[in-house]
Amino acid sequence: MNIGVIGMGAVGMLVAHQLESNGHHVTCYVRREEQLKQLKQSGISLVDGQTVYPEVLYTKQINTHELLVVCTKQTQLDPVLQLIDTNAHLHGSILFLQNGMGHIQKLEKLKHNSIYVGVCEHGVNKTTDYQIKLNGLGQIKVTGLNSCASDSLYNQVSASKFPITVHEHLIKVLNEKLVVNSVINPLTGLYEIRNGEVLKYSSIEQLAKQLTREASESLQLEVEKMWELVRNICNKTSENKSSMLIDLENGRETEIDYMNGYLADRYQSVPTHLLMTQLIKAKEEVKGVKKWT
Amino acid sequence: MNIGVIGMGAVGMLVAHQLESNGHHVTCYVRREEQLKQLKQSGISLVDGQTVYPEVLYTKQINTHELLVVCTKQTQLDPVLQLIDTNAHLHGSILFLQNGMGHIQKLEKLKHNSIYVGVCEHGVNKTTDYQIKLNGLGQIKVTGLNSCASDSLYNQVSASKFPITVHEHLIKVLNEKLVVNSVINPLTGLYEIRNGEVLKYSSIEQLAKQLTREASESLQLEVEKMWELVRNICNKTSENKSSMLIDLENGRETEIDYMNGYLADRYQSVPTHLLMTQLIKAKEEVKGVKKWT
């Protein structure tokens, strides 16, 4: 199948690598000249795995594909949405794989008639601009946002080692992931600690519980079940750095507005999430983060 | 006059140095053996100033003095209060110079009948265990906590370069200092920045405003006037590290419980102070702070 992947972060590279090595024709879209050169020269390699050589283009010259997977961060999604909106020739399906929430309202405004959103549950790290490391296999869960959505497409791209499954009630999964992200990300970012350390320090664990409770109650999820999920993910990824910590370390804008900021915007009873949003924005400023505009 | 000074931090050393060089007989009380040795050997010296050689003793063997000045941190005040309470032979006046609040209720329980509290407005840093640096001259403002308090004592110890003045309405001054401390200390501690940087980053300035507003409204102080005071002190001490930042850098317990924690304990409408208390305690844990018990 002819597939385009926009955004060559860890998730984008994983998606492109898996689809290319499963026989699809993949085009990777990037924004930075440096990464364009490196991917053209070195392909995408997997630590302890094979290297694949998909086509690489700049994001601005987007082509027609049967499936387009958008893997950019929330903070870089707006220019991509604009590109999609102004390209009348795009007729394939579009799948959005972003952390957090807030983008779904934006996607509902797209004129395109085959939009999917999904969560990527693989544990994957970017080691260089052209290499990724797979820490744990998961799956990609997908749901259709408008009536024309169908499963048959995803049956074609799904592979045993890289399952893509369609779920009718994915919004609950997205909300659960939102809770987990809005607990682990800001605490690990603020204190510059790894995921497992959230449970190591009793005072940070207490803050994590407080964030879990506020978010779960607002999203009508079971607090105890969600706290169990947060704990599990901290334990399973204990040595990992969260995406927010990595963003802060690299002086990049974080996705705080789509996690804690999204909750604070929509719900009244999340005071800790509201303050966490302010605290991470202050941390961005101290770290000299330049914002994408 | 025969004066004892308990606690040889920056303020204690300054008080001992100034009183000794103004002709009083000063005894310095310390807890650590290392500092005892160093002060006995080297005296107390002022950067660009003279060195004085007061008597130095362990805190546990407290003598009788006409005036006893207690300069320990809030976190180390309890054993000193116990010592005072169990020493029936102490008949002089006792002056407490601590940051924050919370200790005043404790002092009111002392059987001693000549208790004063004060604020030290000198800018002073400890450079070594026996040397201090005076960054800005201020004064020490004092008020009596019980009926037997009188000004005559402080007229005797006050000197032109080291004024000690008695104020009837000092509680307002203490509250104002509490607001300033509970804004500047946790923000500089959390982000590891100097005082001036609180105003440099707009998102941190916004948090500072929020903390100022909550604290001022609870303590019935004018918000605008207090914000002006906070700004002035950030500007005047822009290159300084706050006591909380210094404590965290040295792995020492902070005075958060007597600043933001005190406000959070007493007032309902200070949610940002409550969370700041939790955040600084978490920072203490991450920094491996050992608590004094």
Task: Examine the pLDDT at A19 and tell me if it is beyond 60.
Answer: yes
Put simply, the answer to whether A282 touches B193 (Cβ < 8 Å) is no
Greatest mean pLDDT among A112-121, A146-155, B10-19 lies in B10-19
pLDDT at A147 over 70: no
Helix, strand, coil abundance in chain B, percent, nearest 5: 50, 20, 30
> For residue B130, what are the contacts with CB-CB under 8 A and spacing of at least 6?
B13, B35, B38, B39, B41, B42, B43, B44, B45
% of chain B beyond a pLDDT of 70: 98
DSSP symbol at A96: E
Structure-block tokens of residue A291? 């914002």
Same domain membership, residue B216 and residue B270: yes
Q: Kindly report the CATH number assigned to the domain that includes residue B225.
A: 1.10.1040.10
Residue with tokens 């200790």: B103
The domain boundary, picked from B126, B151, B168, lies at B168
A273 within domain boundaries: yes
pLDDT digits (tens, 9 = 90+) for A264-279: 999 999 999 999 999 9
Residue A242 has pLDDT above 60, yes or no: yes
Closest-CA residue of chain B to A273? B275
Of B27, B22, B23, B29, give the one whose Cα is nearest residue B3. B27
Residue B120: strand, helix, or coil: strand
Select the residue of A275, A281, A285 nearest B272 (Cβ to Cβ).
Answer: A275
Q: Residue B96: which of B76, B119, B79, B112 has the closest Cα?
A: B119
Nearest to B204 among A203, A275, A282 (CB): A282
Domain boundary among A168, A186, A216: A168
A121 alpha-carbon distance from chain centroid: 9
DSSP H helices in chain A: 10-21, 33-42, 77-86, 103-108, 152-157, 170-191, 197-200, 202-218, 223-236, 243-249, 260-266, 271-286
Q: What is the rounded average pLDDT of the residues B182-189?
A: 98
**Which of A191, A279, A286 lies nearest to residue B193, judging by beta carbons?**
A286
Q: Name the residue range of residue B157's domain.
A: 2-168
According to DSSP, residue B168 is labeled T
Q: Is the pLDDT of residue B151 over 80?
A: no
Tell me if A124 sits within 8 A of A11, measured CB to CB: yes
pLDDT for residue A87: 86
In 3-state terms chain A splits into helix, strand, coil percentages (rounded to 5) of 50, 20, 30
A293 domain residue, yes or no: no
Task: State whether B6 and B124 are in the same domain.
Answer: yes
Position B108 in a domain: yes
How far is residue B211 from each of residues A27, A70, A162, B66, measured CA to CA in Å?
Answer: 51, 41, 49, 40
Residues A25 and A160 in one domain: yes
Mean pLDDT of A54-58: 96
- A50 assigned to some structural domain: yes
Tell me: do A9 and A137 sit in the same domain: yes
- Just list the catalytic residues of B: 177
What ipTM, to 2 d.p.?
0.82
Would you call A201 and B285 a contact, using CB atoms and an 8 Å cutoff? Answer: yes
- Cα separations (Å) of A124 from A16, A19, A127, A133, B76? 13, 15, 10, 6, 48
| A166 DSSP β-pair partners | A142
Rounded Cα–Cα distance for residues A271 and A281 (Å): 16
A292 confidence band (pLDDT: 50, 70, 90): low
Q: How far apart are CA B52 and CA A285, in angstroms?
A: 46
Q: How far is A287 from chain B (nearest CA, A)?
A: 10
> Is B278 within 8 Å of A203 when comparing Cβ atoms?
yes
pLDDT tier for residue A149 given thresholds of 50, 70 and 90: low
Answer yes or no: are the C-beta atoms of A254 and A284 closer than 8 Å.
yes
Whether A129 and A274 map to the same domain: the answer is: no
**Amino acid occupying residue B190:** L
Residues B136-140 have a mean pLDDT of: 86
**Averaged pLDDT, B123-131:** 92
User: For an interface test with A, which of B187, B188, B190 has the most A Cβ atoms less than 10 Å from its Cβ?
Assistant: B190
Identify the sign of the CA torsion A154, A157, A161, A162.
negative
Checking if the pLDDT of B50 tops 80, the result is: yes
Taking 90 as the threshold, does the pLDDT of residue A145 lie above it? Answer: no
* Domain-embedded: residue A83: yes
Instruction: Please report whether residue A178 resides in a domain.
Output: yes
Nearest CA in chain B to A211: B275
Give yes or no: residues B131 and B154 share one domain.
yes
Q: Which two tokens stand for residue A54?
A: 């998909």
**Beta strands of chain B (E only): which ranges?**
2-6, 25-30, 44-46, 51-52, 55-58, 67-70, 93-96, 115-120, 123-128, 131-136, 140-144, 164-166
Query: What's the whole-number average pLDDT of chain A?
Result: 93
Q: Which residue among A168, A185, A204 closes a domain?
A: A168
User: Is the pLDDT score of B293 beyond 60?
Assistant: no
User: Nearest Cα to A249, choosing from A193, A176, A183, A171?
Assistant: A193
Number of structural domains chain A divides into: 2
Task: For residue B281, list chain A residues with Cβ-Cβ distance below 8 A.
Answer: 203
CA distance A217 to B194: 38
Instruction: Classify residue A292: in a domain, yes or no.
Output: no
Confidence band (pLDDT; 50, 70, 90) for A129?
very high
Query: Would the pLDDT of B221 be above 90?
Result: yes
- Residues B186, B152 share a domain: no
User: Which CATH number is B42's domain given?
Assistant: 3.40.50.720
Range of weakest confidence among B75-79, B111-115, B241-245: B111-115
Q: Is residue A187 part of a domain?
A: yes
Of A191, A278, A283, which is closest to B282 when you measure between CB atoms? A191
Question: Are B183 and B147 found together in one domain?
Answer: no
pLDDT-derived band at B135, boundaries 50, 70, 90: confident
> Regarding beta strands B131-136 and B2-6, do their DSSP bridges make them parallel or antiparallel, or are they unpaired?
unpaired
Q: What is the pLDDT of chain B when averaged over all its residues?
A: 92
Tell me which chain B residues have a C-beta less than 8 angstroms from the C-beta of A203.
278, 281-282, 284-285
